Amino acid sequence: MGYKSNNIRNFCIIAHIDHGKSTLADRLLEYTGTIMERGMTEQVLDSMDLERERGITIKLRTVRMEYKGEDGESYHLNLIDTPGHVDFSYEVSRSLAACEGALLVIDAAQGIEAQTIANLYLALEHDLDIIPVINKIDLPNADPEKVLSELEDIIGIGREEAILTSAKTGEGIHEVLEAVVQRVSYPKGDVNMPLKALIFDSHFDSYKGVISYIRVMDGSIKSGMDIKMMSTENIFKVQDVGIFKPNMSLYEELNAGEVGFFTASIKDVKNARVGDTVTSVTSPASLPLPGYKRATPLVYCGLYPTDTSRYEDLRDALEKLQLNDASLFYEPETSVALGFGFRCGFLGLLHMEIVQERLEREYELELVTSAPNVVYQVDMANGERIEIHNPSQLVDEGMIETIYEPFVTAKMILPQDYVGAIMELCQDKRGKFITMEYLNKDRVMIIYELPFSEILYDFYDKLKSRSRGFASFDYEYIGHKPSDLVKLDILVNGTEVDALSTIVHREKAYIKGRQLASKLRELIPRQMFEVAIQAAIGKKVIARESVKALRKDVLQKCYGGDISRKRKLLEKQKEGKKRMKQFGNVEIPQEAFMAVLQVE
Amino acid sequence: MNIKEEGDIAIYIHIPFCIKKCYYCDFNSYPLRGEDVYGYLSALKSEIKEKALLLRKEQRKVSTIYIGGGTPTCLSGEELGRILSLCKEGFSLTCDAEITVEANPGTLSEDKLILLLNEGVNRLSIGAQTFNDELLKRIGRLHKTVDIVSNYNLARDVGFNNISMDLIFGLPGQSLGEWMETLHMAVNMKPDHISTYNLVIEEGSKFYEDMKRGEIAPLEEELDLEMYTKAKEELEGAGYEQYEISNFAKTGKECRHNLVYWRNGEYLGLGPGAHSYFKGIRFSNFRSIPQYIRGVLSGSPVEEREIIDEVVSMWETIFLGLRLTKEGVGLARFKERFGHNLKEVYGRQLEYLQGQNLISFENGHLILTSKGAILANRVFIEFAP
Does A521 have pLDDT greater than 50? yes
CA B221 to chain A, closest CA, distance in angstroms equals: 7
Does A33 have pLDDT greater than 80? yes
User: Chain B: residue nearest A550 by CA?
Assistant: B375
Q: How many CB atoms lie within 10 A of CB B61?
A: 17
Residue extent(s) of CATH 3.20.20.70 domains in chain B: 9-262
- Say what the pLDDT of residue A50 is: 52
pLDDT in tens, B219-246: 888 899 999 999 999 999 999 999 999 9
Q: Indicate the residue of A553, A557, A571 with minimum beta-carbon distance to B384.
A: A571
pLDDT in tens, A164-193: 999 888 899 999 999 999 999 999 999 999
Does B101 have pLDDT greater than 50? yes
Average pLDDT, chain A: 87
B246 vs A571: CB contact, 8 Å cut-off?
A: no
Residue extent(s) of CATH 1.10.10 domains in chain B: 330-382
Asked, as a colleague might, if the bond just before A415 is cis with ω within 30 of 0, I would say no
A74–B contact, CB cutoff 8 A: no
- Say what the pLDDT of residue A207 is: 85
Q: Indicate the residue of B261, B312, B356 with minimum beta-carbon distance to A561.
A: B261
Size of interface A-B (CB pairs under 8 A): 88
CA angle, A477 as apex, A473 and A480 as ends, to 5°?
140
Q: Indicate the residue of A528, A551, A560 with minimum beta-carbon distance to B275.
A: A560
Average pLDDT, chain B: 93
Query: What is the C-alpha to C-alpha distance for residues A186 and A9, in angstroms, rounded to an integer?
Result: 5
- List the 491-530 stretch of A: residues with Cβ below 8 A of B: 528
A570 vs B267: CB contact, 8 Å cut-off?
A: no
Q: Is the dihedral of CA A41, A45, A51, A53 positive or negative?
A: negative
Mutation pick from B257, B379, B380 vs chain A, by most beta carbons of A within 10 Å, is B380
3-state class of A462 per DSSP? helix
Q: Indicate the residue of A556, A570, A573 with minimum beta-carbon distance to B245.
A: A556
Residue A395 phi, psi dihedral angles, 5° rounding = -85, 180
Q: What kind of fold does domain B9-262 have according to CATH? A: TIM Barrel (3.20.20)
- Say what the pLDDT of residue A82 is: 79
B197 vs A557: CB contact, 8 Å cut-off?
A: yes
- Say what the pLDDT of residue A86 is: 67
Q: Indicate the residue of A551, A557, A574 with minimum beta-carbon distance to B200.
A: A557
Q: What is the largest CA-CA distance in chain A?
A: 91
Mutation pick from B223, B261, B313, B322 vs chain A, by most beta carbons of A within 10 Å, is B261
Helices and strands, number each (H, E), in chain A: 14, 34
- Say what the pLDDT of residue A11 is: 96
Q: Where are the alpha helices (DSSP H) in chain B?
A: 34-58, 77-90, 110-118, 133-138, 145-158, 176-188, 206-212, 221-237, 256-262, 289-297, 310-321, 331-338, 342-345, 347-355, 370-374, 376-382
3-state class of B126 per DSSP? strand
A233–B contact, CB cutoff 8 A: no
Q: Indicate the residue of B195, B306, B377 with minimum beta-carbon distance to A570.
A: B377
- List the 389-408 stretch of A: residues with Cβ below 8 A of B: none
| Residues of B in Cβ contact (< 8 Å) with A563 | 261, 275, 277, 282, 316, 320
- Contact in structure between A101 and A185 (CB atoms under 8 Å): yes
Residue A274 phi, psi dihedral angles, 5° rounding = -60, 130
- Say what the pLDDT of residue B4 is: 35
B275 vs A562: CB contact, 8 Å cut-off?
A: yes
HEC secondary structure over A494-518: CEECHHHCEEEEHHHHHHHHHHHHH
Q: Indicate the residue of A552, A563, A566 with minimum beta-carbon distance to B375.
A: A552
Partnered with residue B301 across adjacent β-strands are none
User: Chain A: residue nearest B373 by CA?
Assistant: A554
CA B126 to chain A, closest CA, distance in angstroms equals: 14
Compute the average pLDDT of residues A479-501.
92
Q: Indicate the residue of B14, B196, B373 with minimum beta-carbon distance to A554.
A: B373
Query: What is the C-alpha to C-alpha distance for residues A34 and A282, in angstroms, rounded to an integer?
Result: 37
A539–B contact, CB cutoff 8 A: no
A206–B contact, CB cutoff 8 A: no
Q: Indicate the residue of B225, B258, B316 with minimum beta-carbon distance to A567.
A: B316
- The alpha-carbon radius of gyration of chain B (Å, integer) is 21
- Say what the pLDDT of residue A49 is: 53
3-state class of A408 per DSSP? strand
Confidence of residue A567 (pLDDT cuts 50, 70, 90): very high
Cα dihedral: B91, B309, B342, A581 (round 10): -130
Does B44 have pLDDT greater than 90? yes
Query: What is the C-alpha to C-alpha distance for residues B186 and B130, in angstroms, rounded to an integer?
Result: 9
Q: What kind of fold does domain B330-382 have according to CATH? A: Arc Repressor Mutant, subunit A (1.10.10)
CA angle, A290 as apex, A287 and A295 as ends, to 5°?
120
CA B246 to chain A, closest CA, distance in angstroms equals: 6
A573–B contact, CB cutoff 8 A: yes
- Say what the pLDDT of residue A254 is: 95
A552 vs B228: CB contact, 8 Å cut-off?
A: yes
Instruction: Give the percent of chain A with pLDDT over 70.
Output: 94
| Residues of A in Cβ contact (< 8 Å) with B376 | 553-555
- Say what the pLDDT of residue A600 is: 64
Mutation pick from A530, A551, A553, A556 vs chain B, by most beta carbons of B within 10 Å, is A556
Q: How many CB atoms lie within 10 A of CB B119?
A: 18
CA B224 to chain A, closest CA, distance in angstroms equals: 9
User: Chain A: residue nearest B170 by CA?
Assistant: A556
- Name residues whose C-beta falls within 8 Å of residue A489's C-beta, 6 or more positions apart in sequence: A496, A500, A501, A535, A536, A537
CA B109 to chain A, closest CA, distance in angstroms equals: 26
Compute the average pLDDT of residues B255-272.
96
Query: What is the C-alpha to C-alpha distance for residues B383 and B385, in angstroms, rounded to an integer?
Result: 6
A555 vs B200: CB contact, 8 Å cut-off?
A: yes
Query: What is the C-alpha to C-alpha distance for residues B153 and B147, in angstroms, rounded to an integer?
Result: 10
User: Chain A: residue nearest B352 by CA?
Assistant: A585
- Say what the pLDDT of residue B9 is: 94
Which amino acid, B385? P
Query: What is the C-alpha to C-alpha distance for residues B159 and B113, in angstroms, rounded to an integer?
Result: 9
- Say what the pLDDT of residue B312 is: 95
User: Chain B: residue nearest A574 by CA?
Assistant: B381
- Say what the pLDDT of residue A38 is: 44
B374 vs A566: CB contact, 8 Å cut-off?
A: no
Classify the phi-psi angles of A124: left when phi > 0, otherwise alpha if psi is within -120 to 50, otherwise beta: alpha
- In eight-state DSSP terms, residue A372 is P
| Residues of B in Cβ contact (< 8 Å) with A570 | 319, 377, 380-381, 384
Instruction: Give the percent of chain B with pLDDT over 90.
Output: 87
B320 vs A562: CB contact, 8 Å cut-off?
A: no
Distance between start and end Cα atoms, chain B? 31
pLDDT in tens, B306-347: 999 999 999 999 999 999 999 999 999 999 999 999 999 999
| Residues of B in Cβ contact (< 8 Å) with A560 | 12, 14, 68, 269, 274-275
Classify the phi-psi angles of A91: left when phi > 0, otherwise alpha if psi is within -120 to 50, otherwise beta: alpha
pLDDT in tens, B147-191: 999 999 999 999 999 999 999 999 998 999 999 999 999 999 999
Query: What is the C-alpha to C-alpha distance for residues A278 and A468, in angstroms, rounded to an integer?
Result: 48
Compute the average pLDDT of residues B10-20.
94
- Say what the pLDDT of residue A83 is: 72
Confidence of residue B5 (pLDDT cuts 50, 70, 90): very low
A558 vs B195: CB contact, 8 Å cut-off?
A: yes
More confident residue, A296 or A149: A149
Q: How many CB atoms lie within 10 A of CB A180?
A: 24
Does B77 have pLDDT greater than 60? yes
- Contact in structure between A512 and A430 (CB atoms under 8 Å): no
pLDDT in tens, A288-328: 998 777 778 889 999 999 888 899 999 999 988 887 777 88
Which amino acid, A418? Y
- The alpha-carbon radius of gyration of chain A (Å, integer) is 27
Q: Indicate the residue of B304, B306, B380 with minimum beta-carbon distance to A570.
A: B380
- Say what the pLDDT of residue A504 is: 92
Taking CB atoms within 8 Å and a gap of at least 24, the contacts of A523-530 are A523/A589, A523/A591, A523/A592, A523/A595, A524/A492, A524/A586, A524/A587, A524/A588, A524/A589, A524/A592, A525/A580, A525/A587, A525/A589, A526/A550, A527/A585, A527/A586, A527/A587, A528/B356, A528/B375, A528/B378, A529/A585
| Residues of A in Cβ contact (< 8 Å) with B304 | 564
pLDDT in tens, A315-369: 999 988 887 777 889 999 998 778 899 999 998 888 888 898 889 888 889 888 8
- Say what the pLDDT of residue A4 is: 81
Interface of chain B toward chain A, CB-CB under 8 angstroms: 12, 14, 68, 195-198, 200, 221-222, 224-225, 228, 245-246, 258, 261, 267, 269, 274-277, 282, 284, 304, 306, 312, 315-316, 319-320, 356, 373-378, 380-381, 384
Cα dihedral: A482, A483, A484, A489 (round 10): -110
Does A55 have pLDDT greater than 60? no
